[in-house]
Amino acid sequence: MTSKFRAGGDVWARMGLMAVLCFIGFAPAFDKLSAQQINSARGTTDNWKLTSPRLAFGPLGARLAHPHAEASHALRLLKLASTGSGFFVSYEGDLVTDNHVIAGCREVRVVHNEKSNTARVVVTDAAADLAVLRVPDLAGDVAVFGNRFERPGEAVIVAGYPLQGLLTSKGSVTTGIISALAGPKEDKNLIQITAPIQPGNSGGPLVDAHGAVIGVVTSKLNSLRVARTTGLIPENINFAVKAELVRELLDKIGVRYAAPPSEFKQLAIPEIVENVFKFTAIVQCFR
């Protein structure tokens, strides 16, 4: 597919794109959607509201609690501001997500297998955009990290709970490949992928063809800003934090995560999807 550019040609368009990459930044995987967009999608008029760069859910002014849990009095006074995804890494209930998913939350809850509980924030790393939560009551299956070097062109799967309240509550997956082993400005902490991500995918696992976690979904290129600046519409430019950084953080705080097997076997995509949702959860931010 080719794109047409205004006077100046392809060279100037590429230079403009590079300038945009340097200055506009990247959008979290729960990019802000306008209330009008959500209302239009659902055919409603006034019962949705955004209170942050993340999606907000529920009737205006409602005091929300997860329907599967008896909320505390304190929680009923808070509002569900946004949701992301996360995945369990230990049998003690340690769960990995993105720092921006829980930043500024007065209370964080995790929903898994139709059960919900308040999570304790164990550690955050804003620079790496990582956070570790602990919810012992929801502990069960855990993720296994990959034990080999990834290569561009390898197949990957993104799992998570995007657009909660608009799409299915059961979670969804997208597929793609590894585009590059670095992010913007040669950031070696990131993997660039083509698998589409949506608001709510932040913090979810990026897994390989063996079902092993190789990254944590974190952001995507803001296509609208690039298009407005350069006339170029970039496609499928998304990013995940490398699993290596996750393991380093878990080692620092003494979390006992599952050791990878000596040998992985190739799995069919439906098998991978079935397994990945055994340890992938919804992360809710209340304010």
Residue 107: strand pairing partners = 286
* pLDDT in single tens digits along all 287 residues of the chain: 323 333 334 433 444 444 444 444 556 654 333 334 333 333 322 222 222 223 434 332 232 233 333 445 555 689 999 999 999 999 999 999 999 999 999 999 999 999 999 999 999 999 999 999 999 999 899 999 998 788 999 999 999 999 988 888 889 999 999 999 999 899 999 999 999 999 999 999 999 999 999 999 999 888 888 888 888 888 889 999 999 999 999 999 999 999 888 788 889 999 999 999 999 999 999 99
HSE-CB at 96 with a 13 A cutoff on CA atoms is 37
Single out the catalytic residue among 66, 90, 94, 100.
100
Query: Where do the domains of the chain lie?
Result: 142-280
Single out the catalytic residue among 85, 90, 116, 202.
202
Q: DSSP string spanning 110-162?
A: EEETTEEEEPEEEEEETTTTEEEEE-GGG------B--S---TT-EEEEEE-T
pTM of the predicted structure, to 2 decimals? 0.76
> Is-catalytic flag, 202?
yes
| CATH fold label, 142-280 | Thrombin, subunit H (2.40.10)
- Cβ-contact 119, 113 below 8 angstroms: no
Single out the catalytic residue among 82, 129, 208, 219.
129
The CA angle 104-244-251, to the nearest 5 degrees, is 75
Length of the chain: 287
